[in-house]
């Protein structure tokens, strides 16, 4: 009997999690408005949290990995830097039904147990040990928790969980007396943009096992494929410059800052304790401190305020990303229109004899 995994992306995953235990408060709407994509799909130091979780699952020989994306949460399916063969991505309307179907499918294909996790829950626990714990407990569901409370990571027995239609995930697991697995290792719940910043700093400081992408050009400085740093720019370790990103003359990147893919930091600008998310251009002679920047949006973590910069000279999406954003907004519009309930046609009302 093999192992499977279901990774859940989107708001409904949080509902499942909240029902399944006592998850913490989830101010996701603000952050999703800010970033347009779920936090778990945001690249941090080269790879998204989703990719990092998939890497961990592949490392323990999980046979099938299903990524279920809540249709409302994002109009764009998550992209992977190296698309693994084992991973299948599905956009679903009803997450609970989709999980149920997935587990039924696993049972049919001879997979006995499966991890179910909200993709924004990143843990560095020994997943094999968790699986062994679950098998020894001989219960349909095992839930994990850490010192801050329950985590949205379960191990389920695909066959046993099926007859109860996965109600077990909707009820409070603690009350049902299901076994609980305590995680002592690194955990990041990624509920707020602040957690993105914490993850970046932890990766760069090596507080967690997962590492930065790209090549370490000098101790603590990673530069990814095609990243360019002007000889007059200064990068203070630890720091990361992503794929095809440019750091121009006299710029300063310092205090665990990460510049993600396709970014540009213009001359004389200081990036301090900040994350510049993919496809962002930062103008000349600016001071960006304790912030997360994405396109023309800036979330200052010190003041906990999100600002939209209207001046493209200050901050903007790079050209390629702008085209993508237009395409994305068209797709969102199309999704919204498709989701609208069909209104009865005029001829139907007119031909309705009861109304007449």
Partner 1 sequence: MYTRAPVIVMELPEQLNHVEAKRFLDELQPLLEVDRPSVVLDCSQIKHMDSAGVEMLLYCLEQAMKRDGDLKLAAISPASAVILELMRVDRLFEVFERSEEAVRSFQIFAPATVAQTQPWYAAPYGLTDLKAAG
CB closer to partner 1, 112 vs 268: 268
Report, in Å, the least distance between residue 41 CB and partner 1: 25
Q: Per DSSP, what are the bridge partners of residue 187?
A: 123
| Dist. CA 149–CA 237, nearest whole Å | 34
Nearer to partner 1, 102 or 275 (CB): 275
* DSSP letter (8 states) at residue 85: T
For the CB of residue 305, give the shortest distance to partner 1 in the complex, in Å.
4
Rounded CA-CA distance 299/30 in Å is 11
- Give the nearest distance from C-beta 85 to partner 1 in angstroms: 44
In 93-160, DSSP assigns E strands to 111-118, 122-123, 141-146, 149-157
Minimum CB–partner distance for residue 248 and partner 1 (Å): 17
| Identity of the residue, 144 or 296, whose beta carbon is nearer to partner 1 in the bound complex | 296
Residue 314 Cβ vs partner 1, minimum distance, rounded to whole Å: 6
Closest CA to 276 of 290, 285, 267, 268: 290
Smallest distance, partner 1 to C-beta of residue 288, A: 6
Strands (E), 158-301: 180-182, 187-188, 215-218, 221-223, 228-229, 234-235, 239-241, 246-247, 252-254, 258-259, 264-265, 270-272, 275-276, 280-282, 287-289, 291-294, 297-300
Question: Which CB atom, from 278 or from 282, has the smaller least distance to partner 1?
Answer: 282
Minimum distance between the CB of residue 194 and partner 1, rounded to whole angstroms? 15
Specify the residue, 111 or 298, whose C-beta has the smaller distance to partner 1: 298
Q: Which lies closer to partner 1 via its Cβ, residue 310 or residue 354?
A: 310
Phi, psi of 298 (to 5 degrees): -135, 125
Least gap, CB of 291 to partner 1 (angstroms): 8
The DSSP call for residue 41 is: G
Which residue's CB is nearer to partner 1, number 289 or number 324?
289
Which neighbouring-strand residues pair with 50?
none
**How far apart, in whole angstroms, are the C-alpha atoms of residue 138 and residue 215?**
45
Closest distance of CB 309 from partner 1, Å:
7
Task: State how far the alpha carbon of 30 is from the alpha carbons of 17, 36, 41, 69, 258, in Å.
Answer: 19, 10, 16, 19, 22
Nearest to partner 1 of 267, 300 (CB atom): 300
Strands 280-282 and 315-317: antiparallel
Report the Cα–Cα distance between both ends of the chain, in Å, rounded: 63
| Interacting residue ranges for partner 1, rule: CB under 8 A | 285-289, 291, 298, 300, 303-307, 309-311, 313-314
Q: Which is nearer to partner 1, 9 or 298 (CB)?
A: 298
Cα three-residue angle 124-79-227, rounded to 5 degrees: 85
Q: How many CB atoms lie within 10 A of CB 333?
A: 11
């Amino acid at each position: 009997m093999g192992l499977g995994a279901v990774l859940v992306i989107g708001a409904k995953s949080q509902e499942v999690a909240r029902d399944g235990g006592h998850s913490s408060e989830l101010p996701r709407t603000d952050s999703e408005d800010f970033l347009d994509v779920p936090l778990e799909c945001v690249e941090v130091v080269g790879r998204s949290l989703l990719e990092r979780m998939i890497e961990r699952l592949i490392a323990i020989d999980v046979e099938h990995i299903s990524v279920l994306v809540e249709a409302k949460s994002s109009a764009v399916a998550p992209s992977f830097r190296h698309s693994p063969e084992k991973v299948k991505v599905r956009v679903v309307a009803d997450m609970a039904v989709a999980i149920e179907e997935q587990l039924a499918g696993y049972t049919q294909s001879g997979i006995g147990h499966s991890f179910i996790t909200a993709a924004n829950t990143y843990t560095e626990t020994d997943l094999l040990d968790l699986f062994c714990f679950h098998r020894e407990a001989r219960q349909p569901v095992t839930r994990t928790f850490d010192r801050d409370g329950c985590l949205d990571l379960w191990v389920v027995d695909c066959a046993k969980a099926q007859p109860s239609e996965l109600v077990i995930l909707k009820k409070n697991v603690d009350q049902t007396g299901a076994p609980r697995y305590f995680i002592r290792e690194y955990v990041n719940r990624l509920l707020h943009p602040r957690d993105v910043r914490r993850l970046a700093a932890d990766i760069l400081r090596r507080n967690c096992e997962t590492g930065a992408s790209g090549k370490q050009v000098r101790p603590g400085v990673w530069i990814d494929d095609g990243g360019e740093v002007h000889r007059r720019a200064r990068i203070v370790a630890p720091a990361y410059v992503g794929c095809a990103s440019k750091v121009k003359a006299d710029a300063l990147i310092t205090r665990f800052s990460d510049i993600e893919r396709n970014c540009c930091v213009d001359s004389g600008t200081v990036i301090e304790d900040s994350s510049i998310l993919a496809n962002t251009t930062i103008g000349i002679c600016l001071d960006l401190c304790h912030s997360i920047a994405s396109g023309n949006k800036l979330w200052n973590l010190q003041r906990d305020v999100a600002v939209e910069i209207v001046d493209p000279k200050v901050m903007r999406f790079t050209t390629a990303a702008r085209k993508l954003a237009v395409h994305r907004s068209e797709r969102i519009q199309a999704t919204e229109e498709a989701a609208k309930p069909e209104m009865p046609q005029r001829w139907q009302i007119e031909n309705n004899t009861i109304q007449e």
